[in-house]
Homo-oligomer: A and B are copies of this chain.
């Protein structure tokens, strides 16, 4: 007995124990995703005009990731990476998908929900789906026990009139469009918060649950309630409406967090918040000082706000600075349930978050969307390849704004990173949609005058 304790003592002194082993109950898992929000448009990101007190409190109670990336600069492929934990290009999921079209998650895709279903989780998708319209692509066929949301990528925030026929935009419960939206809810963002909170209250007593909660805010259409518009103040403008939409988003997330805290399960519930891509050019969002917006290969397209509250793993007020990916979300929570994650591209972040592993989670991160591909090494060196153009190399550490192309100075580094990018690509499928010649040449043209951030326009000399 004493020998055993001594042995345990010695082994514990060399590493920090991570909670959740066979003796602790598996954690509840909530992923909260916002849509097209700007990099700086949260209080915890330093915004000067958007107030998000509930998300700021969530931030203060856990970890803020300082260099978090999505796997694509647009909604649908970004979500495909997040929900599978694998580069979406592995299944040819490289592009956004047209509403009602044939593209989306193949029926045999193994999502994080599939894996958690196997681990006896109740799995629930709430809000925006945007991962396919064909029956085999929908939530109930992709590992979710429940679905309460819309198949499309966005919708009006007010209820649709009952005679409006817009099936992919209407709210469904499981796969049934609800009959009377006006009788069901008043404002979509708050409604999602209420649906999620109610399910948390229902599910918490009966065992582990996984909730994938995707708000459409602050994606277009630009709509905000009169109360939110009045509360944020200022003269009417797109930015004012945007700020009001962020207010509703923050309020709804606050309700979800309160439901977790009231459920008695707060200590065993993971709450992971992330935005799905860079701020869009059409919704008044602000990517702050980063170069590029939604759709761009620059940091403003793929670097996003991310928060995680996980008692026992994260600490209140913690910052985590090395580069992480939304691929790590699946890898991390699945590892905590002892699932097999050998085919996941992400990294279990727990050893890094608790300080057991103090190196960096990723040597390389990769992106590709049609003719534009890039690779990031050690969170610092970023190589961008645009078809029919020169390679560009940026030093994200010392030039986070990607203004100075170092490729001419670092030929050997460019060659090494190019090789890494190509080795990664050799494992991917060709793009499965949107790769028509016209789209391709448009993307290349777009590169010639890549979208810069609003902040640059307003403040750069």
- Chain A residues with a Cβ under 8 A of chain B: 1-2, 5-6, 8-9, 12-13, 16-17, 39-40, 46, 48, 63, 66, 288-290, 314-315, 317-322, 353-360, 380-381, 395, 397-401, 403-406, 409-410, 413, 455-456, 459-461
Contact = CB atoms under 8 A, between A and B. Distances in A.
Contact of A13 (B12, B321, B406): B12
Contacts of A2: 1-2, 5
Nearest to A404: B459
Contact of A12 (B1, B9, B318): B9
Kindly report how many copies of this chain are found in the complex they form together.
2
A460 B46 CA distance: 28
A40 B2 CA distance: 53
- 6 closest cross-chain pairs (CB), A and B: A355-B355, A321-B321, A289-B398, A318-B358, A289-B399, A317-B359
Given A2-B1, A5-B2, A398-B400, A319 B359 contact: yes
A356 B13 CA distance: 12
The DSSP consensus for interface residues of chain A is loop
Nearest to A411: B48
Given A1-B2, A289-B398, 15 more contacts: A5-B9, A13-B17, A46-B395, A48-B413, A63-B358, A66-B397, A314-B358, A315-B359, A318-B358, A321-B321, A354-B358, A355-B356, A398-B400, A403-B461, A404-B456
A395 B66 CA distance: 13
Nearest to A16: B16
A17 B63 CA distance: 22
Nearest to A318: B358
A293 to B, nearest CB: 14
Contacts of A17: 13
A360 B319 CA distance: 7
Nearest to A8: B9
Contacts of A358: 63, 314-315, 318-320, 353-355
A359 B319 CA distance: 6
